Structure 1
Amino acid sequence: MLLCKIKGYTERQKLNQKLMRAAATGDIEAVQKLVLRGADIYCRDHQGDTALSLAAGSGYLDILDI
């Protein structure tokens, strides 16, 4: 569950969820595409993690340069 302040279940929320998964699994190409499409890199999940913190915690440091 994402904690971004967005009304309803919008396309941007879907992008943010995909971004979190892509970052956590190190899929740099997907992260780049999702950010270009408007995903919010500052959005936090229910544990307070951002996509970038998930990537860093999983060792995918190249994602931090996006």
Structure 2
Amino acid sequence: MNDAVAQPGVYQLMTATDWFGLGLSILLFVLVIVVYVYVIVPRWGGKLENKKYMIFDRDLQKQDK
């Protein structure tokens, strides 16, 4: 007396929008980790420190003209 109905698998329950959201979430997670590591690693810190006031330098150059 096995009246159990076969349940669909998890892959069949997910719609295209679900898959898109899952893929986008994973992609953004990986990008956040990459940017975090890029900013934190000390050997790349010098490159970023040189650009710390870049926007202010542009403003000063515009004012001088």
Q: Establish whether TM, by shorter chain, passes 0.5.
A: no
- Name the one with the larger helix percent: 2
- Output the TM-score relative to the length of structure 2: 0.29
Higher relative CO (Cα under 8 Å, sequence separation at least 6) belongs to 1
Larger radius of gyration: 2
